[in-house]
Amino acid sequence: MARPPRKLLGVAACPCCGLDAPVKEQGNGYAILVCGMCDGHVQAKSPQSDAKLRAKIKQPQDEKVPEVAPPAHAAPAPAPPRKQPNPAAPREGGSFLDALGGLLAGAS
């Protein structure tokens, strides 16, 4: 039976490497931090440790992160022009295989 995905609470600094790592909510309701860089784990197992870990969350998931608008002068690049097929006229004398067949027939 697959477990439901954990609810993301926000990000906090990893105590091992110092990089931002996601803080999620476990099935028991307590917070857990798992660093993807150093594989460090901080797991709350009591209401007190849960409160301390949640206090370290920098960006709560509830708050909207201000979106950065693209610069006004940046216009989407035009699509490259499509190349039109230009079939060449068939060459006189047939294909390479015809010439090879003629050489092989003459060799016997």
pLDDT: is 101 or 7 the higher one?
7
Distances (CA, A) of 65 to 45, 61, 70: 30, 9, 15
The answer to the question of residue 41 being in a domain is yes
pLDDT: is 68 or 84 the higher one?
84
Query: Are residues 44 and 55 in contact, defined by beta-carbon separation less than 8 angstroms?
Result: no
The answer to the question of residue 45 being in a domain is yes
Return the pLDDT at 88. 67
Return the pLDDT at 90. 59
Q: Which domain holds residue 26?
A: 7-55
Give me the number of domains the chain comprises. 1
The answer to the question of residue 83 being in a domain is no
The answer to the question of residue 73 being in a domain is no
Q: Report the distance separating Cα 16 and Cα 40, nearest Å.
A: 6
The answer to the question of residue 93 being in a domain is no
Return the pLDDT at 89. 62
